[in-house]
Amino acid sequence: MSGASNAAAMVAALSSAAAGFTALSLAMDRHWEALHGCGNVPRDGQRRLLRWAGSGGLLISLLVCLVVWGAAQGWVAWAGVLTASAFALVLTLCYAAHAIVRIGWAAAFVSVVALAAVLSLLR
């Protein structure tokens, strides 16, 4: 397990979890309102899409952890990854709510790049 693939895997896990949490938070009225103004709530279709995308991001994060670090350490790593990315999101929502969508997309982009790196390094 080289240092590079370890680092790439950690980046992939963290960024996909961050993107996932971003989507899940926006599916909540409170945080959608913070972005779009009081009284605005996501439409049903939007909410469902955000929830699916969010869960998907978290799942990808879990898969990366399990594949790279094995069954035992993988679950432990995932719990830590969720904690770290959730904290980052809470701080972002608190102090930079207006940029949340851009940050979410950036996290998704980073996760795709990192996933590609992990897959190529593992081969």
Partner 1 sequence: MKESLRQSMAWLHTWSGLLVGWVLFMVFSCGTASYFRDEITLWMKPELHQSSHAVVEQGVAAAQIQNLLQQRAPASPRWFITMPTGREPAVRASWAPPPSGEEGQPRGRRRFENASIDPLTGQELSAARATRGGDFFYRMHFDMHYMPVLWARWIVGICAMFMLVAIISGIVTHKRIFKDFFTFRPGKGQRSWLDAHNATAVLALPYHLMITYTGLVTLMFMYLPQGLGAVYKDSDAFFADLNGGPRVEAKASGLSAPLTPLAPLVAKGSQLWDGASVGRIMVSHAGDSAATVTLTQQDGHGVSNNLPSLTFDGVTGGLLTEADKSGAAVETRGVMYGLHIGRFASPLLRGLFFLSGLAGCAMVATGVLLWAVKERPKHVKANANGRIGFGLRLVDGLNLGGIAGLLIAMSVYFWANRLLPPGLGGRPDLEIHCFFTAWGIAAVAALAFPQRWMWRIQLAVAGVLFALLLPLNPLTGGAGLFTSVAQGLWPVAGFDLVSLLIGCGLLWASRGLGSAAKAPLKARLAKVAA
Q: Is 89 in the site for partner 1 (CB under 8 A)?
A: yes
Q: Does the protein bind partner 1 through residue 84 (CB under 8 A)?
A: yes
Are 5 and 101 spatial neighbours (Cβ–Cβ below 8 Å)?
no
Asked whether 39 and 33 are in contact (CB, 8 A), the reply is yes
Q: How many residues bind partner 1 (CB under 8 A)?
A: 27
Out of 4, 41, 76, 113, name the contact with partner 1 by CB under 8 A.
76
1/116 with CB nearer partner 1: 1
Selected range binding partner 1 among 27-35, 43-51, 101-109, 110-118, rule: CB under 8 A: 27-35
3-state secondary structure the chain: CCHHHHHHHHHHHHHHHHHHHHHHHHCCHHHHHHHHCCCCCCCHHHHHHHHHHHHHHHHHHHHHHHHHHHHHHHHHHHHHHHHHHHHHHHHHHHHCHHHHHHHHHHHHHHHHHHHHHHHHHHC
Per rule CB under 8 A, is residue 7 in the interface with partner 1?
Answer: yes
Residue 34 CB, shortest distance to partner 1, in Å, is: 10
Residues at the interface with partner 1 (CB under 8 A): 6-7, 10, 21, 25, 28, 30-31, 69-70, 72-73, 76-77, 79-84, 86-87, 89-91, 93-94
